[in-house]
Structure 1
Amino acid sequence: MFDLIDFKAMLVIALIFIPLEQLLPLHAEQPLTRRHWLNDVFYLLFNGIVIKFGLLVVVGAAMLLVERLIPPALPAAIRSQPVWLQALEVLVIADIGFYLAHRAFHAVPFLWRFHAIHHSIEEMDWLAAHRVHPVDQILTKSASLLPVLALGYSGEAIFIYVLIYQWQSVFIHSNTRIRFGPLKWLLASPQFHHWHHANERRAFDKNFAGQLPLLDLLCCTLYMPDRMPEKYGVDAPVPQLYHRQLVYPLISETDAGPVSPAVEAVPAAAKPD
């Protein structure tokens, strides 16, 4: 049901991060098979199929409209640059799109219901990166990829970005105590992203960037104290089985409980990603 290349990538990621979390754990008391880990394995194995199809439809349809607005000379000029420079530009442009989409999923109550699935994880590890509702992932990735595709960046540069994104997204969720020192302000780390998932009021709606904390610094949404969070997750009840999580965002708030205890005053108040 998933292609061989994806299976090999999943296997390599597991073989790297499972031992890494045992050797350098952030929360040493956390078991390898933490709560709901089988549910997240299901996300790992099958969610990608839906996301790839959705991306093909959304980005493909959007490209038909957007590419007509781009002067032909611009993509030609962009592709004339060295691949390494294109890759850096793609990283910045794509992460700006990711930041804006991610922030929207926190700010808009209906979108938050999709994103709450990802935030419902209460024990961070490499598998946590894969618990993402398909609608959330499709729209967020579309916001990242559409600008760079429309501008005509080379396939090689976009591939470098996708590779960095895939590995870094797993790493920043991992249960590791690895820190980046002064580089923590330039590159997203577990220290940066764990605070996005922290269930502490001061950390709510912070650290939206995928790779570049500088975006949060510029937008006044950066929160990275020296200590690490002790509690993750959301207060609102979120189901813990894949099929129930898929339909959870579409269930009325009356049936599923409020998104946030302060949703009317501060829409994202109980949303710790």
Structure 2
Amino acid sequence: MLKELNELAEGAGELKPGSGLVTGVIALALAFLCFLGVLAFLFPEYLTTPELRRSYNVETVRTIMFIAMVVAGGLSLVNVLFNRSRWLSAFAFLLVALTALLGGHKVPVNDFADNTPYIGLDWFILDLLGSSLIFIFVEKLFALRKDQPVFRPEWQTDLHHFIVNHMVVGFILLATNLLVHRLFGWAAADGIQAWVRDLPFVAAVLLILLVSDFVQYWTHRAYHEVPLLWRLHAVHHSAKSMDWLAGSRQHILELLITRTLVLAPIFVLGFSKEVIDTYIVIVGFQAVFNHANVSVRLGPLRYIIVTPNFHHWHHSQDKEALDRNYAAHFAFLDYLFGTAVKSTKLWPERYGVLGDYVPNGFFKQLKFPFTWKG
């Protein structure tokens, strides 16, 4: 069983319909997330994010977990009974059974300390479940490259980045908050913050997006134009396929630097929690959607808003696209500063770093900026 699971995890390509592989993979994914969920229930002080746990509706989480266990258990049991991908489905069923034995969706949550070190297991579960359910479906409905499978080449590397960058969310938040307060605390002014807080909600959201994107534009441009910073950013550009998971490929040092610089003006201007929460949702959606394998251009709006088409060009190896399209939210910034792609083609042909010199594999990419002789 372990041999077959390892072969599946290391492989790539389309899952053959009718063999039970599709339902088996769905069952295994849900079973694995349920198992992680029960661990988060058992050890919330160490495995959940304080900012998230304060806003949870525990009963809703329990209901979602129960439904996922039923679906995973049902799919895996049917496959086992009809001899369809038995090895995969049997492992999924064992995970569901183990989750149930550990308490499943009924694990009680008692009082616990709120200031312990933690990893963001809950954030990883929610984001992976939400992103995969939404964007895999959207990519199948509006696929740009219709022959690109869900498990395309190098998906394992991007999943490793996704896992690590989500698990260390606590470290990232702590480090960025510390850096922002230490480096930019002097710039906070009560008058400016009061003016920002008095803005209408929609105006404040547009302002926070514009301010953060202005900073991100120049930070992103620096990653391309400063050789030392390109060593970090080349990891993100090494993805040869674009889909909902590709945006997760990001060196952790780049993540720390970018978040610190983008959060600085947000802290200095004093946006309200509601505005920041809305900004986080929009950023999260755009970061995934604009890397997705979807054929979306939005007509004339693409000159104002960053779309998948706009950002796909940024990841292209095509000569006219190199070091172009830096904005994350507002495409007009690139048109304003003269860095927008100009091409007669609708979509780029190839993705990745020109010369393909970044190695594949999470740990190799973690070391790459410090070992590359280029």
Fold match (TM-score > 0.5): yes
> Alignment partner of 1:126: what SS?
coil
Who wins on radius of gyration, i.e. which is larger? Answer: 2
More displaced 10-residue stretch of structure 1: 213-222 or 64-73: 64-73
d(CA) in 2 for partners of 1:181, 1:152: 35
In structure 2, the gaps of 5 or more residues are 1-118
Matches within 5 A, 1:88-107: 88-107=206-225
Q: How does 1:33-52 map to 2 (within 5 A)?
A: 33-50=151-168, 52=170
Could you tell me whether the CA contact under 8 Å between 2:217 and 2:326 is conserved in 1?
yes
Structure 1 segments of 4+ aligned residues over 6 angstroms from their partners: none
**1:52 CA displacement:** 4.6
Structure 2 counterparts to residues 2-13 of structure 1, below 5 A: 2-13=120-131
2:271 aligned residue (138, 141, 153): 153
> Contact (CA 8 Å) 1:2, 1:45: kept in 2 or not?
no
Q: Which digits, 9 at most, give the CA deviation of each residue in 1:50-102, with x for residues without a partner?
A: 35523432342332342223322221221122222211110000001110110
Question: Alpha-carbon deviation of 1:12?
Answer: 1.1
Q: Give the drift of 1:179.
A: 2.1
Residues in 2 aligned to 1:22 and 1:13: alpha-carbon distance in whole angstroms: 14
| 8 Å CA contact 2:157, 2:361 repeated in 1 | yes
Q: What residue ranges of structure 1 are gaps of 5+ in the alignment? A: 259-273
Which amino acid is the alignment partner of residue 39 of structure 1?
T
Cα distance in 1 for partners of 2:322, 2:129 equals 33
* TM-score w.r.t. length of structure 1: 0.88
Q: Counterpart in 1 of 2:139?
A: 21
Tell me: CA distance 1:173–1:65, structure 2 relative to 1, closer, same or farther (3 Å): closer
1:84 aligns with 2:210: no
Deviates more, 1:195-204 or 1:58-67: 58-67
Aligned twin of 2:181: 63
Q: Which residue of 2 aligns with 1:266?
A: none
Conservation of the 8 A alpha-carbon contact between 2:120 and 2:168: no
Could you tell me which of 190, 194, 197 is aligned with 2:308?
190
Structure-1 residue corresponding to 2:349: 230
Which runs of structure 2 are paired with 1:170-189 in the superposition (5 Å)? Answer: 170-189=288-307
Q: Which residue of 2 aligns with 1:139?
A: 257
Selected match of 1:119 from 208, 223, 237: 237
Write the distance in 2 (CA, Å) between the matches of 1:6 and 1:91.
24
Structure 2 partner of 1:268: none
Q: Describe how 1:261-272 pairs up with structure 2 within 5 A.
A: none
Q: Distance in 2 between matches of 1:236 and 1:184?
A: 29
Percentage of matched positions with identical amino acids: 36
Distance 2:196 2:291 in 1: 33
RMSD over aligned Cα atoms = 1.6
* 1:206 match: 324
Quick check: 1:203–1:223 contact (8 Å CA) kept in 2?
Answer: yes
The aligned counterpart of 1:165 is 283
**2:232, 2:251 within 8 Å by CA — same for their partners in 1?**
yes
What does residue 112 of structure 2 align with? none
Partners of 2:166 and 2:122 lie apart in 1 by 13
Distance in 2 (alpha carbons) for counterparts of 1:134 and 1:55: 12
1: CA distance, partners of 2:147 / 2:310:
21
* TM-score, normalised by the number of residues in structure 2: 0.65
Alignment correspondent of 1:221: 339
Question: What is the aligned partner in structure 2 of residue 248 from structure 1?
Answer: 368
Q: Is the 8 A contact 1:98 1:140 kept in 2?
A: yes
